[in-house]
Structure 1
Amino acid sequence: MKRKKIFAISGSTRSQSSNESILKTISKMNSDRLEVSIFKQLTDLPHFNPDLDKDNPPEVIRNFRNSIQESDGVIICTPEYIFSLPAALKNAIEWMVSTTVFTDKPTAFIIASGLGERSFESLTVIMDTLQAKINDRTRLLLKGSRSSIDENGYLSDPSAIGEIEKLVRELEHMME
């Protein structure tokens, strides 16, 4: 059986963030079925500028868009900063507005934060606007995950892992 390709985006720019740890956990837990590629260049993306988003956008943007386009599905895991999405993640998503790379793309997202309700609502609206293929079972608000990362950088909370596994299974179902 061919493994499905998942393009994973951490909304945190912090090294060894809990968001990246969650994505690493997803990759490890599902390595038999999914090929998870975690995007490491969020801080390399230039600030969104519609003037640059013409026929030949910057190469890093073309590569980013191609990675989304060529994947079978996308998972975004992000914190909430000041009741909103982190600026670097919002910037990355803004580069997608003039494209159709998210249109009908099976997408899941996890807001891993202390609170997270506002980012959850915001990302839902944004992904709906981009016409990503999401549903209630591919969206997860995961509170307090930072304290559940083990010494190896993986999520260790059984309850959170169970919720994430349900989300991943639903995403897999959407990719069929």
Structure 2
Amino acid sequence: MIIIGNREVNGNELKSSAFKAEQIEMIDKMDRYQETYSFMNRQHFQFTLQIRYATIQAARDLLASKAKFTTFERAHCNERFWHLTEQGGFKLKQGINPADAINDIFQNGVEYGFECATAMVIIFYKAVLDSINNAQFNRIYQGIYLRDWQSDNDLPIYTRRGNDYLPGDCLYFDNPQFN
């Protein structure tokens, strides 16, 4: 069920030819699931679709970047932008624009190695960066520290259990072969 500004809206009313296939899928699933998806107004709804699509695209772009998955102990980064901490995290260097540092991961992925939770946070930052302008991103995310699920207070990450999901969600699956 989709609620926009205290009014239930049929998903078919919201679809537009301007939306990507993944965004149409998001609308269809929101409309079909028992979960209530509430938005303040149409702009909030459209921004949500945009950021979810940007998350999908950032995941594709990270794969194309050739960055590697590794352990915290073997993490590595472009030291022009990041300080590699003893814990295997990446701390933004003083005087570096956060937007430039995040974009570098995607442009020079071969210089990077991190574990999967850090990869998800990187994807979320990139999705936000691609959904707002660089100046806003640089102002909001000045002290980026990439490690595990740590993120800026202005990049809240919510978790929940369930069987319904939307494109752009981060999903974990039980894998009995891996603890």
Could you tell me the TM-score, scaled by structure 1's length?
Answer: 0.27
Query: Which structure has the greater CA radius of gyration?
Result: 2
Task: Determine which structure has the larger strand proportion and give its number.
Answer: 1
Could you tell me the TM-score, scaled by structure 2's length?
Answer: 0.26
